[in-house]
Amino acid sequence: VLGMFSELKFPVPWGHVAAKAWGPSEGPPVLCLHGWLDNANTFDTLIPLLPRGCYYVAMDFSGHGLSSHRPTGSPYHFLDYVTDVRRVAAALQWRRFTLMGHSMGGAVAGMFCFLYPEMVDKLILLESLGFLLAPEDTEAWLKSKRTVIDRLLSLEAKQQTPKARSPEAALQRLLEANTHLTAEGGAILLQRGATETPAGLVYNRDMRVRTQDRESLTVEQCVKLLQKIQDRVLIVVAQDGLLVPHKLHSRNHFVKALREAFESTLREHIQLVEVPGSHFVHLNEPEVVSGTISSFLTAQSTRARL
């Protein structure tokens, strides 16, 4: 039964990467990647609704969920998360597999796919376009890099002990920070995202995760990369999410140009589906997206694989 799962741990030089798995280990492999500050439980309600023959592994990125934090003094670079995926794939001895990522996990999945296209069978992006948006200008880019360094040094100087909260307060704080989450969805994430201590619940995530250094791409790069992996990409966006197609033009020049590229050159090659719901639709209302994802997982590619 896909509701049953097992816990996995993969050794890495600074500790371990944690994951949970559903389905038969000999089935077609699907690696599932959660969003920023979330954890593997983000897929708890969706995976039981997907094809039973597949082997689903949902990992916790370093500094998230039950995975070890990175060594003292280290920032969290975006490419480190991509490396986490490569390490897990190597530990599982997977040569080719499907990637499914939500939000930041989608950007990690996209970058992994661009770097290791021979390893990716299909790419499923939930509320993600497969990469992170570039700042509008050089000054904004410089400011973002400076902020990463300053935040890291500030955190190190404070040396704060993680704050303990009552279960109610911990959930309330999570819901305030994620207005797209339902109370039920928040409670599911909290099960893996916090540890019980005598003083109360303490979030598991590493505070340094907030200092993440992003990898940003130009529109031209994004279009070229998407064309490389076309015919095996499903993008699911929620009508009230963060990437609503008919609202994209209001975000910035980058997204507007990207949308125009979708309309002109990518539409026939990449399946873009809009569904009702919020940024966490896959967790809050999984039945809204499970049918589309299941069909995509089981469909045979009609064109030659790239």
Question: What is the C-alpha to C-alpha distance for residues 195 and 104, in angstroms, rounded to an integer?
Answer: 23
Q: Which pLDDT value is given to residue 133?
A: 63
Per-residue pLDDT, 130:
78
Residue 2's pLDDT is: 66
Q: In whole angstroms, what is the distance from residue 48 CA to residue 32 CA? A: 13
Which amino acid, one-letter code, is at 46?
L
Q: Spell out the domain ranges in the chain.
A: 6-133+215-298
Would you state the pLDDT for residue 93?
97
Residue 30's contacts (CB-CB under 8 Å, 6 or more residues apart) are: 54, 55, 56, 57, 97, 98, 99, 100, 297
How far apart (Å, rounded) are the C-alpha atoms in residues 106 and 196? 30
- Active site residues per annotation: 103
At 211 the pLDDT is: 81
Structure tokens at 260: 């125009």
Cβ contact 57:6 at 8 Å: no
pLDDT of 162 = 86
Six-digit token string for 59? 């990992």
| Tens digit of each residue's pLDDT, the chain (306 residues) | 566 899 999 999 999 999 999 999 999 999 999 999 999 999 999 999 999 999 999 999 999 999 999 999 888 989 999 999 999 999 999 999 999 999 999 999 999 998 998 999 999 999 988 776 666 678 888 888 899 899 999 999 987 788 999 999 999 999 999 999 999 999 999 999 999 999 999 999 999 998 877 777 777 787 788 777 776 899 998 999 987 655 555 555 666 677 677 777 777 778 889 899 999 999 999 999 999 999 999 997 544 343
Report the alpha-carbon distance of residue 131 to residue 123 in Å, rounded.
13
Residue 35 is given by DSSP the state -
* CA–CA dist 92, 82 (Å, integer): 16
Helix, strand, or coil (residue 225): helix
State pTM to two decimals.
0.92
Cα 196 from Cα 41, distance rounded (Å): 17
* Assigned CATH for 6-133+215-298: 3.40.50.1820
